[in-house]
Amino acid sequence: MQYTSFNPPARTLMGPGPSDISPRVLQALSRPTIGHLDPLFVAMMDEVKSLLQYAFQTSNPITMAVSAPGSAGMETCFVNLVEPGDKVIVCRNGVFGSRMLENVERIGGTAIVVDSPWGRAVDVNKVEDALKAHPDARFLAFVHAETSTGARSDAQSLCQLAQQYDCLSIVDAVTSLGGIALNVDEWGIDAIYSGSQKCLSCTPGLSPISFSEKAVQKMKARSHKVQSWFLDQTLVMDYWSSSESNKGKRSYHHTAPVNALYALHESLILLHQEGLAASWQRHAEMHTILRSGLEKLGIEFIVPEQDRLPQLNAVHIPEGIDDAKVRNIMLNEYNIEIGAGLGGFAGKAWRIGLMGYGARKENIALCLAALKDALK
Ligand code: PLP
């Protein structure tokens, strides 16, 4: 068997992620690999941390990137914070709320599930009822931007409730970070994780996370070791909580994905250069342009306007249209990827992503033209 190098085509990625990546980020990825304890790399990691603090709008010292995808960021939050027997209110309005539930159950926590319909925001009133009914709950966990449905939840109100009822909040910001307003400190978020491959428009495989002081205290007060060695934050905190005073302490924990972190650094610089508020605004504007084009094609949104995410547009597949055929035409004839429906939406929805570098007018024009042709 003769093997040849893999040369993928240049697709326009307009699905639920990974999103289109800026050439600047791809160039950063291909720079020479240096040692992960090299002083130059350590200095770059300090910048990654401060850029992540900017992206999350936090001054939490424990703000870093887990060397693994968003699901590992999710697991990092749960395994470090939740102990067997802890009661966790889990909000479920799509696939990723179910994944949170799975984490709680595997740890041996007691999950109280608050269900809201798919395609709708988490019902804040139902959450308050659950908090009242379970005064011993220690955590409130929810997904800010449900990628499986395109629904946005009111993270600020939910975190306020968590504080009011003496719970720590665990927030999934995989799809929200960089795409819609998110203020970790102002909203009082205790544990948050994201993904590199959505609105940050970096390569997949890294998960930015951040923990509040209260969350760090909870981790430090654990009665027994975190069952996952790799994700145990107490072992990596020293590495990331760098400052002039403890730089000398940096030591080996695992081999950092050096080049992937160059890419994350570059993508965060792009976000910083644009400005967070400008990035949120651009996502909102691109959504408006896409929406009017889709409406002209007779395509309807699943999520009511007030709950809609600009970066993930879930739409009904029109009656009598062959889902796979349309997506194949778009992929093979136009090099555009849009997402299929996930979970309960499989075969019923398309998910059109406008994330990060992909949230651009030319992508929208191409997508609409391809969709129009494929629907013929
Ligand atoms: N949470 C949400 C809301 C997501 O959209 C995803 C991925 O799409 C994840 C978690 C898991 O992230 P990853 O696929 O990077 O593990």
For 127-141, give the DSSP string.
Answer: HHHHHHH-TT--EEE
Domain carrying residue 297: 12-18+276-375
Say whether both 227 and 325 belong to one domain.
no
- Span from the CA of 259 to the centroid of ligand 1 (angstroms): 21
Task: Give the mean pLDDT of 285-290.
Answer: 98
Does ligand 1 lie within 6 Å of residue 172's CB atom?
A: yes
**Could you tell me if residue 108 is left (phi over 0), alpha (psi between -120 and 50 degrees) or otherwise beta?**
left
- Nearest residue (CA) to ligand 1, atom 13: 70
- Which pLDDT value is given to residue 246? 53
Say whether both 88 and 208 belong to one domain.
yes
- Nearest residue (CA) to ligand 1, atom 2: 174
Report the alpha-carbon distance of residue 118 to residue 349 in Å, rounded.
12
Task: Give the mean pLDDT of 307-323.
Answer: 97
Task: Give the mean pLDDT of 252-263.
Answer: 95
Does ligand 1 lie within 6 Å of residue 71's CB atom?
A: yes
Report the alpha-carbon distance of residue 306 to residue 329 in Å, rounded.
32
Report the alpha-carbon distance of residue 231 to residue 237 in Å, rounded.
11
The token pair that represents 230 in the structure block = 């790799």
Virtual torsion, Cα 357, 358, 362, 366, nearest 10 deg = 160
Token match 């160039």: residue?
27
DSSP 176-197: TTTTS---HHHHT-SEEE--TT
- Which pLDDT value is given to residue 113? 98
- CA atoms within a 13 Å half-sphere pointing along the CA-CB vector of 234: 15
| Predicted interface score ipTM higher than 0.90 | yes
Say whether both 182 and 288 belong to one domain.
no
Say whether both 113 and 225 belong to one domain.
yes
Task: Give the mean pLDDT of 343-353.
Answer: 94
Say whether both 254 and 347 belong to one domain.
no
Report yes or no on 5 lying in a domain. no
Report yes or no on 134 lying in a domain. yes
The token pair that represents 196 in the structure block = 């590199």
CB 153 within 8 A of CB 121: yes
Say whether both 144 and 195 belong to one domain.
yes
Facing residues of 142 across strands?
Answer: 171
The token pair that represents 302 in the structure block = 């699943």
- Which pLDDT value is given to residue 118? 96
Helix (H) or strand (E) holding 14: strand 12-14
Report yes or no on 54 lying in a domain. yes
Selection from 21, 5, 7 nearest residue 199 by Cα:
21
Selection from 122, 196, 133 nearest residue 159 by Cα:
122
- Span from the CA of 288 to the centroid of ligand 1 (angstroms): 25
- Span from the CA of 207 to the centroid of ligand 1 (angstroms): 9
Q: Which amino acid would we find at residue 263?
A: A
| Residue 67 in this model has a pLDDT that exceeds 90 | yes
Domain boundary among 232, 250, 272: 272
Q: Which CATH number covers residue 280? A: 3.90.1150.10
Give binding residues for substrate as ranges. Answer: 351
Say whether both 300 and 239 belong to one domain.
no
State whether the Cα torsion 107-108-110-115 is positive or negative: positive
- Span from the CA of 174 to the centroid of ligand 1 (angstroms): 6
- Span from the CA of 197 to the centroid of ligand 1 (angstroms): 9
CB 211 within 8 A of CB 60: yes
Does ligand 1 lie within 6 Å of residue 69's CB atom?
A: yes
The token pair that represents 266 in the structure block = 């570059």
- Which pLDDT value is given to residue 248? 53
Q: Output the average pLDDT for the chain.
A: 96
Q: Which atom of ligand 1 is the closest one to the Cα of 197?
A: 15
Report the alpha-carbon distance of residue 45 to residue 166 in Å, rounded.
34
Task: Give the mean pLDDT of 174-199.
Answer: 98
Say whether both 200 and 285 belong to one domain.
no
Is the full-model pTM beyond 0.95? yes
Does ligand 1 lie within 6 Å of residue 67's CB atom?
A: no
β pairing state of 151-152 and 207-211:
unpaired
Selection from 197, 206, 356, 185 nearest residue 274 by Cα:
356
| Best residue for ligand 1 mutational test, from 96, 152, 355 (most atoms within 8 Å of Cβ) | 96
Task: Give the mean pLDDT of 192-208.
Answer: 98
- Span from the CA of 331 to the centroid of ligand 1 (angstroms): 22
Does ligand 1 lie within 6 Å of residue 96's CB atom?
A: yes
Report yes or no on 3 lying in a domain. no
Selection from 103, 42, 46 nearest residue 71 by Cα:
103
Q: Which atom of ligand 1 is the closest one to the Cα of 143?
A: 3
The token pair that represents 31 in the structure block = 């720079």
SS3 state at 21: coil
- Which pLDDT value is given to residue 247? 53
Say whether both 281 and 247 belong to one domain.
no
Task: Give the mean pLDDT of 335-356.
Answer: 96
The pLDDT-based confidence of 252 (bands split at 50, 70, 90) is confident
The token pair that represents 38 in the structure block = 């090299």
Does ligand 1 lie within 6 Å of residue 75's CB atom?
A: no
Q: Which atom of ligand 1 is the closest one to the Cα of 94?
A: 3
Query: pLDDT tens-digit profile of 131-168?
Result: 999 999 999 999 999 999 999 999 999 999 999 999 99
CB 137 within 8 A of CB 104: no
- Which pLDDT value is given to residue 241? 60
Say whether both 237 and 100 belong to one domain.
yes
Helix (H) or strand (E) holding 368: helix 361-374
- Which pLDDT value is given to residue 344? 87
Domain count, the chain: 2
- Nearest residue (CA) to ligand 1, atom 14: 70
Token match 């009017």: residue?
292
Q: Which atom of ligand 1 is the closest one to the Cα of 144?
A: 3
| Best residue for ligand 1 mutational test, from 100, 175, 201 (most atoms within 8 Å of Cβ) | 175
β pairing state of 191-193 and 168-172:
parallel
- Span from the CA of 317 to the centroid of ligand 1 (angstroms): 23
Say whether both 328 and 242 belong to one domain.
no
Say whether both 221 and 294 belong to one domain.
no
- Span from the CA of 70 to the centroid of ligand 1 (angstroms): 5
Selection from 275, 315, 376 nearest residue 15 by Cα:
315
Q: Which amino acid would we find at residue 32?
A: P
